[in-house]
Amino acid sequence: HADMPDAVVTSNKAAEHDILLGPGHLFKPDLSATPWMRFNVAYCGDERVFAFLDSQRFAA
């Protein structure tokens, strides 16, 4: 998302709620900032994941 140039901030906030999100820069060869992130799809059944992501949509 253009309003979120680096997923690290969101990833750190998620960790405060015991939610693990992998900031996208960890998956890029040059480790450059990116708004993309990864998470284990096995946790998609956990409502906390989507509630957290939804709460962050307008937090920027």
Express as a percent the part of the chain with pLDDT over 70: 88
| pLDDT at residue 29 tops 90 | yes
| pLDDT at residue 60 tops 60 | no
pTM, to two decimals = 0.76
| pLDDT at residue 6 tops 80 | yes
| pLDDT tens digits for range 32-58 | 988 888 888 888 888 999 899 889 877
Residue whose pair of structure tokens reads 């990116």 in the numeric block:
34
